[in-house]
Amino acid sequence: MLLYSQYIQMICAFVLAVLFATHTVKVWHILTLSFVVGVGQSFGGPAYSALLPTLVGPEDLANAISMNSIQFNLARIIGPTLGGLAYTVFGATWCFALNGVSYVAVIISLLVIRVQFNAPKTHASVLKSMKEGIGFIQDREGLTSLVVLAFCTTLFGFSLTGFLPVIVQTIFHRGSGTYALLLVFSGGGSICGALIVAAMERLKGQGRLAVLALFALGFTTAGFALSKWLPVSCLLIFLAGAAVMASASLLLSLVQLIVVDSMRGRVMSVYNLAFRAGIPLGALSLGKLIPILGVPTAIAGFGLSLVGVASYFLIVMSKAPTFRRQNKSEV
C-alpha cells in the first residue's frame, strides 16, 4: 500500500512537470492531479503509521514515534521551503520534476525494508471497522481532544506559508527574493523546533507543552501579519516555524503513544483526516476573508483564533488532565 501510494504521487509530479514544460497546463489539470495525490496519501498515511511499531521493539517505540513525528512534520515545512527556492532558481518545470525524483529515495527505502509481520485476519466489514475506530477515539481519554487540536492546528496555523506570496507582494511590495528569505527563516525555525522536541522527548507534560506551542504559534502568526518591518517579520516567522513544528510533532507523538496496535491504522486514518482537512479548509476560508478584511486583519484573525483554541484547552487541562500515556503516566 505504501509503495503504490508513492508510485501514484511520483507519477503525478512528473505529469505536472511535463504539462509545465509543454506549456499545456490548465487549472483543471492541477485540481485533478491534486485530487489523485490526496487519494494516494489517504491510503499511504495510515499504512505508514501502522507499520512503524513493527520496525522496532517495544522498548524503542517511544523514541521511534518521536523521531517519526519530527521528520514527518519537519518535511512538511522544509518541503515548501526547498520548493520555493527551486521555483525561484529553476522555475516551475524543474521544481515539479525534482519533486518527482525525490520519490525514488522513498521507494528504494521501502523496497529494502523487510518486515516479518502478518496482520491478523478479520471478517469484520469496513463500516464496522470504521465504527470501532471512531468508538475507540471517543472512549480513550484525551484522544478526541488531540484530534480536535490537530484539526485546529492546520486550520488556523498552516495557512501562513501558503499565503506568503500575497504578504510579500501586498505588505512588503517585493518579489521572489524576499519570499525565499522568509521561507528560509521559516524552515530554520522548524529545524530548531525539531531539535527542541527531540531534546524533551522523555519529559512529562508533553500535552501541555503542545498546547503552549499552539498558543505561541497563534501569537507569532498574528504578529507576523501585522508587522511591516522585514527583520521583525523574519524573526516572527522563525518563531512560528518552531512553534508549528513543536506542536504538530508533540500531538502526533501523543496519539501514537495512546493508541493500541490493533487500532493504530483506523485511529491514524481519522487523525490524518483531521490533520489534513484543516489545511485546505483554512486556505479556502482565508482566501475568502482576505478580499473582505485585507491581508493583515484576516491572517491576524486566524492567529488569534488559534490563541483562543489553545487558551480553552489550557483551561480544560488545568481542571482535569486529559493527555496521558497508555500506562496512565502523565505526558
Say whether pLDDT at 276 is over 90.
no
Domain extent for 169: 2-319
Greater pLDDT, 35 or 73: 35
Number of domains comprising the chain: 1
In a domain, 148, yes or no: yes
Bridge-partner residues for 330, per DSSP? 324
Rounded Cα distance between 323 and 331, Å, is: 6
Rounded Cα distance between 316 and 67, Å, is: 29
In a domain, 121, yes or no: yes
Rounded Cα distance between 135 and 15, Å, is: 40
Instruction: Report residue 86 as a C-alpha cell.
Output: 527551486
In a domain, 324, yes or no: no
Rounded Cα distance between 133 and 122, Å, is: 14
Find which of 68-72, 142-146, 282-286 is predicted with most confidence, using mean pLDDT.
Answer: 282-286
Rounded Cα distance between 92 and 223, Å, is: 31
- What is the pTM assigned to this prediction? 0.75
Rounded Cα distance between 110 and 10, Å, is: 14
Say whether pLDDT at 323 is over 50.
no
Percentage with pLDDT > 90 across the chain: 21
In a domain, 328, yes or no: no
Measured CA to CA in angstroms, residue 322 lies from 70, 145, 202, 246, 313 at distances of 23, 8, 18, 19, 10
pLDDT, residue 117, reads 60
Band (pLDDT 50/70/90 cuts) for residue 215 is very high
In a domain, 129, yes or no: yes
In a domain, 49, yes or no: yes
In a domain, 126, yes or no: yes
Closest CA to 248 of 293, 281, 204, 206: 206
pLDDT, residue 204, reads 63
In a domain, 331, yes or no: no
Tell me the pLDDT tens digit for each residue of 90-137. Answer: 888 888 898 899 999 999 998 888 776 665 666 666 677 777 778 887
Residue 254: CATH number of its domain: 1.20.1250.20
* Stretch 130-148: mean pLDDT: 81
